[in-house]
Amino acid sequence: MTDVQGTAVDVPTEDGTADAYLVAPADGVPHPAVLLYMDAFGLRPHLRAMADRLAGAGHTVLVPNVFYRHGRAPVVELPEFIDPGARPEIFERLGPIMASLTPETVTRDARAWLRYLEECPAAADGPVALTGYCMGARLALLTAGTFPDRVAAAAGFHGGHLATDDPDSPHLLAGRITAEVYLAHADHDRSMPPKQQEQLEAALTAAGVRHRCEVYAGARHGYTQADTAAYDAEAAERHWTALLGLLRRTF
């Protein structure tokens, strides 16, 4: 794996300044850019390690703290090992913060993340790829549908609420997506039940989006996150195979 160099950066947005993590191969050459959308637990050592692995595969990776309006990361104090079942107060605090990410704020922020990568010397010219986890999968789909000319690929893992009856449901943007899309749902995930999976698949198919949607059997919501009780090592490695394959096809 390529040596990488990561650093904390600040990204100017329309609503303030967001803290973020930027990592790239240490060769000083511009590389294809990946925007990594965090899960609800936010920018922390595990997500930096995931970004490092992507950078080691030859990419420049930006991981913004999408909760920056509520403070710099960590916005909510987290234990070293996260088990929401044992610590329900974590989601009690995160719930209102997550709800504050409206499609309007997501759009304004996505414009800032994409502009930052467009101007970043470590990022190669051209469209970027997206990968998102849990709520980040929703952000990835919204970004791909809102900025189709800037996104070449979009992946989402154990995402939730991707095809709801809400007027701002992400699946309603399928007709605007030009990127290749890969989505891997968690098995028995209450936030993404079979009905939503079918509705999302139908929307992507009807829109002619190049895509693949899979269910990782036996994997729980959050299966990629090694610092949580939901982690599934086999499913996480399957995710890496799928994601890196998508990036190879894209770049």
* pLDDT per residue as tens digits for the range 82-125: 998 878 889 899 999 999 999 999 999 999 999 999 999 999 99
Residues 127/151, Cβ–Cβ less than 8 Å:
yes
- Is the pLDDT score of 1 beyond 80? no
The string of pLDDT tens digits covering residues 2-25 is: 899 999 999 999 999 999 999 999
d(CA 13, CA 135): 20
The string of pLDDT tens digits covering residues 53-71 is: 999 999 999 999 999 999 9
DSSP letter, residue 224: T
d(CA 45, CA 15): 26
Domains of the chain as residue ranges with CATH: 4-250 (3.40.50.1820)
Nearest to 139 by CA among 63, 46, 201, 205: 63
The string of pLDDT tens digits covering residues 144-192 is: 999 999 999 999 999 999 999 999 999 999 999 999 999 999 998 999 9
The structure tokens listed for 124 are: 């190669």
The string of pLDDT tens digits covering residues 201-251 is: 999 999 999 999 999 999 999 999 999 999 999 999 999 999 999 999 999
Helix (H) or strand (E) holding 78: none
- Beta-strand pair 180-186/211-216: parallel
